[in-house]
Amino acid sequence: MKKIIALFLVFIALGIGVAVTSCKKEETVVIYTSTEDYNMELMQKRLNERFPNYKIEIEYMSTSNVATKVLEEGEKCEADIVYALEYGYLEKLIVNDRLADLKGEYTTNIFEKFEEDAILEGAENYIIPSMRTGGGIIINNKVLRERGIAKPTCYADLLKPEFKNLLSMPSPKASGTGYTFYLSLVNCWGEQAALNYFDGFAKNAISFTSSGSGPVNALVAGEAAVGFGMISQAAEKITSGLTDLEILVFEEGAPFGMYGAAVVKGKETKTAVMEVMDYLYADYLEESCKLFYPEPVFKGITYEVANFPANIVYSDMSGNTISRKEDLLRKWKY
């Protein structure tokens, strides 16, 4: 009888242990991002290595979709962190009280190591810069040769009839990269001249993609001859062996955008979320810039990335405010 009672007590103890173990849920941190797949893969790997006891979920969305979900859902949004989101969208989220104020969460001034123009004025407590990405005119020389088309030397060349159904550009309404091209030409030529240009461009375009990576992907697939895309993405593709691609910068200069990371308001109370955010700021951002995004973000640090153009001349990106962006997007037809 004593043995039976003893075994019974052992089973109870084991049952309690199993119940307690089953109640310990794995901490999950969800990151929404619009960055490229190679950056996502490295980030996932590094976060898994650094936080083996957490479940880190990284979900890709276009910049506009990330901003829309966080804006509409607020604290109920599945995302804890948004990463590599264009500053214009981040600023809109701040204005609508959707991002956590991180002032006091860090013991040092987290912005001391960043270039001054990499910091969005008035958003210092909310956004940590993650990258600067310039845009280039990316061409597929193989497609051009097969079609007997000369390499373009200026924006006007792309309106020639031989480029019919061979152009690709990200939609400014969906992509931060697309908007940088739009704004840069508005600043350079004036609003009406830029709108007229894009009317002509649309006649030769196969698509206006929903993401900044779309045009380069179309070039890689041989579907387009010319794409308005990210220099960093094109350089990575060339390094991987796609040597038919070439990066051009026309005389108007390379448009560029700043992208940052932030915590969704209400999620800053989760220890796991802040630990991941701390790691992104302290370690991962520099590694990703060193490997993929060498354009200036950190003070006094210059990176060299294979096949990345040297001495890029950037275009005028002034006036990148929420009100101006909304006004220009209302006038965009495509």
Whether residue 2 is predicted with pLDDT greater than 80 in this model: the reply is no
Average pLDDT over residues 48-67: 95
pLDDT, tens digit, for every residue of 287-296? 999 999 999 8
Domain with CATH 3.40.190.10 in the chain: 26-132+257-291, 133-256+310-331
Higher pLDDT, 281 or 12: 281
Find, among 277, 321, 258, the residue nearest to 84 by Cα. Answer: 258
Q: What one-character DSSP code corresponds to residue 210?
A: S
Mean pLDDT of the chain: 90
Q: CA nearest 282: which of 152, 107, 158, 148? A: 107
Q: Is the pLDDT of residue 8 over 70?
A: no
Determine the pLDDT at residue 25: 59
Model confidence band, residue 24 (pLDDT cutoffs 50, 70, 90): very low
Identify the pLDDT of residue 110: 65
Q: Confidence band (pLDDT; 50, 70, 90) for 68? A: very high
Mean pLDDT in residue range 81-91: 92
What are the distances in angstroms from CA 191 to CA 57, 201, 328? 41, 15, 9
**Confidence grade of residue 42 (pLDDT, cut at 50, 70, 90):** very high
pLDDT digits (tens, 9 = 90+) for 222-242: 999 999 999 999 999 999 999
CB 233 within 8 A of CB 293: no
pLDDT of residue 69: 97
CA distance 210 to 126: 26
Alpha-carbon distance of 164 to 206, in angstroms, equals 8
Residue 105's pLDDT is 65
**Count, residues in the chain:** 334
**pLDDT tens digits for range 136-188:** 999 999 999 999 999 999 999 999 999 999 999 999 998 889 999 999 999 99
pTM for the complete prediction? 0.78
CATH topology of domain 26-132+257-291: D-Maltodextrin-Binding Protein; domain 2 (3.40.190)
Q: What's the CATH superfamily of 133-256+310-331?
A: Periplasmic binding protein-like II (3.40.190.10)
Q: Strand ranges (DSSP E) for the chain?
A: 27-33, 54-60, 81-86, 128-140, 167-170, 205-209, 226-230, 245-248, 256-263
